[in-house]
Amino acid sequence: MKNPIAERITDFIKNYHPFSELSYNQILQVANTCKVIYLDKNEILFKIHDEIHDSFYVVATGAIGLSITSDSDDVLIDKCDEGDVLGLRPFFAKDNYLMTAKAREETILYAIPIADFKPLALQTPAVLDFLLQSFASNTRNPYDKTHKGKLISENVIYDDHNNEIQYYQPISYSTDPITAAVNDIVQHVAQIMSNRRIGSIIVQENQLPIGIITDKDLRSKIATGLYPISVTLDQIMTTPVITVPENLSIAEAQMMMLKYNVGHLCVTKDGTNQSEITGVISEHDVVVSQANNPGVLLKKIKRAHNIVDLKLVRDKMTDLIQHSIDKNIPISHICSIIGELNNAITKRVIDFAIEKIGTPPPSKFVWLDLGSQGRKEQLLLTDQDSAIIFDDVATENHENTKHYFLHLAKIITKKLNKIGYEYCPADMMASNPFWCRSLSDWNSQIRKWIQNPGDKGILMTTIFFDYHCIYGDENLANALTETINNEIENNELFLAFLGIDALKNPPPLGFFRQFLVESDGEHKDTFDIKARALMPLIDAARILSLHMGINKNTNTSYRFAKLAEIEPQNALIYEACNEAFLELLKFRTEEGLRNNSNGRYLDLSNLSKLDKVKLKNDFQPISEIQEVIKNRFQLTYFT
């Protein structure tokens, strides 16, 4: 008996990969076992850490958003539309899901049982290739060149449960491969491999790959006497050679090596054996590439025995930032990764410091990072900003307790300096008695700043409001946050002072739309991107978030995203500010990497005409957000 629902499913999915590789009857066979799933908007299909399902899914109508967890916040990394495949993890892996799949609108899905589909996939190489590529690269459709979705190399997965970062980045490999012809003599090629210290040579004909000679071939075929060393390469080469496209991720390279049980891959222009050879990937390349993988770096931090080990990791982080920017990985993701690695380094340093003192802390305490690192926006090596809150103790024990934590902080800041984190020029560090206090002392100081918002009070609060707990008892920081919120609530005077401070740097363009550059001093004729462009947005996000009670996260991008969610009437302005902030941060990071500096001062002569236009466009949201602040806090007559 005919099944009209199965026929309807067949007629739909036959037009999409990988089902288009199957016959109509094969697809119909699969469709007869499918289930139709209806999801309302925002309904979850599966969540991070959920046990894997027995099916994978095809979107029939609607859209599914795929998100990861970064800094306890959901980050959308891709959207699956009509015909897209998702949920392939149980097809290849038995561990739990690493992402959340949620309907972005009313959605209909076809659930395809893996047990029924797997035999067909294994019998059809084109189907298996599609699924392998889709799973390894995390693309909804690896064959769609226009709308591939985000590669896993562009995604960050911060797994709070395992406290690990899994990050699949493009693999580095030799882009100058040694090649030989089929009639070359094995002895000659073996000598080249020995002299060049390489483990393989691609055999080519008319610049196209037709085979490969590896160390394994020499050992198994020549050293054993199976063939004399005088034979030509065509006698012992492995053919066909496995070819892959450029910009392959580490995960994809590993999957291909596992799939074909090989130790080398030939890179060609379009990934086929009918295009020019451009490189070769070895198992060694996979190992080396993983050395800069954030997950590997995180493990190295945790296993570090001394400051030298941590400095080596911090140096590699610079390479990671450069590599990520080169691959156009979103700057927000890079910030999240580097922020977690910076936090991990500080935690390890605190462990070292406590071990060095030899006695445990005399009370509960929490170490806070302030400023850019507190906001997780410190990509380049800038100065340290930190504070300690320790629990209230009996009056007679207060001085000794404070002395312990000051001593601890001095060891910590000194070790961080050796790693490469500069001392704060203004001495805003936990090693300064002013920044190392009991909870009661901090509560008292915060009240003074807020109740008497002079220039110094505003400066101190803007720094202190951007803190992040690194080590110790977060309840101490939460108690301080509660004090801040209580003091700010309905405190129009303080918010007005904070608003005026946020307006001190207007959009940095002159009357004729020329850049406002430094007029004298060491940085004459350069553009101060921090003070003139980034800080106005950072300050705006801070005051508006404080006003709206947004205190879960101090990251500027997060603040703007939450503001857009809470105030839909201003959402377009907040979203524009978010985009501008991230692009400006990227400009600063690129400048810093280029000149081994903190990137604060841009040499405009190094920017292309297009980059200058982008930079100027990023200034428009500054004007718009400052108008919001003027109106919100009635500052029109003060500015």
Statement: residue 190 has pLDDT above 70? yes
Start-to-end Cα distance in the chain: 79
Question: What would the mean pLDDT of 90-105 be, rounded to a whole number?
Answer: 79
Lowest mean pLDDT among 33-42, 245-254, 338-347: 245-254
Q: Looking at mean pLDDT, say which of 79-83, 387-391, 445-449, 558-562 comes out highest.
A: 387-391
Higher confidence at residue 126 or residue 38?
Answer: 38
Give the model's pLDDT for residue 94.
65
Rounded to 10 degrees, what is the CA torsion of 333, 338, 343, 349?
Answer: 170
As to burial, measured by CB atoms within 10 angstroms (0-12 exposed, 13-18 middle, 19+ buried), residue 549 is exposed
Classified as helix, coil or strand, 292 is: coil
pLDDT level of residue 162 (50, 70, 90 thresholds): very low
pLDDT digits (tens, 9 = 90+) for 275-290: 899 999 988 787 666 6
Q: How many residues does the chain have?
A: 639
pLDDT tens digits, 617-627: 888 899 999 99
**pLDDT of the residue at 155:** 35
Which pLDDT score is estimated for 152? 33
Q: Chain-wide mean pLDDT for the chain? A: 84
Question: What pLDDT score was predicted for residue 260?
Answer: 79
Query: What is the average per-residue pLDDT within 596-610?
Result: 87
Query: Can you read off the two tokens belonging to residue 322?
Result: 């450069």
Which tokens belong to 639?
């500015």
pLDDT at 74 over 50: yes
Q: Has domain 179-288 been given CATH number 3.10.580.10?
A: yes
Tens digit of pLDDT for each residue in 212-222?
Answer: 999 888 988 98
pLDDT at residue 584, rounded to an integer? 93
Q: Does 461 have pLDDT greater than 80?
A: no
pLDDT score for 316:
85
Give pLDDT, residue 133.
64
Per-domain residue ranges for the chain? 4-166, 179-288, 294-489, 495-638
Query: What pLDDT was estimated at residue 245?
Result: 87
Instruction: Provide the pLDDT confidence category of residue 573 given band limits of 50, 70 and 90.
Output: very high
Q: Is CATH 2.60.40.10 the right assignment for the domain spanning 4-166?
A: no
pLDDT attached to residue 510: 66
Q: Give the pLDDT of residue 76.
A: 64
- 330-363 pLDDT, tens digit per residue, is 888 788 888 888 999 999 999 999 999 999 999 9
Superfamily of domain 294-489: Beta Polymerase, domain 2 (3.30.460.10)
The tens digit of pLDDT for each residue in 40-63 reads 988 999 988 888 898 999 999 888
Reported confidence tier of residue 435, pLDDT bands at 50, 70, 90? very high
Q: What is the model's pLDDT at position 1? A: 58
> What is the chain's alpha carbon radius of gyration, rounded to the nearest angstrom?
29
Residue 473 confidence (pLDDT): 92
Which of 103-117, 257-271, 418-432, 565-579 has the least mean pLDDT?
A: 257-271
Confidence of residue 161 (pLDDT cuts 50, 70, 90): very low
pLDDT for position 157:
36
Q: Which helix or strand (DSSP H or E) is residue 85 part of?
A: strand 85-86
- Closest C-alpha to 528, from 590, 586, 604: 604
pLDDT band at 167, cuts 50/70/90?
Answer: very low
pTM for the model stands at: 0.60
Residue of 36, 38, 30, 35 lying closest to 10 (CA atoms): 30
Q: How far apart are CA 419 and CA 532, in angstroms?
A: 30
If DSSP codes are grouped into helix, strand and coil, which group holds residue 423? coil
Cα–Cα distances (Å) from 210 to 40, 134, 221, 241, 266, in that order, read 52, 26, 19, 6, 10
Per-residue pLDDT tens over the stretch 106-122: 899 999 998 888 888 87
Q: Tell me what the mean pLDDT of segment 96-109 comes to.
A: 86
Give the residue among 327, 325, 323, 321 at the shortest CA–CA distance from 341.
321
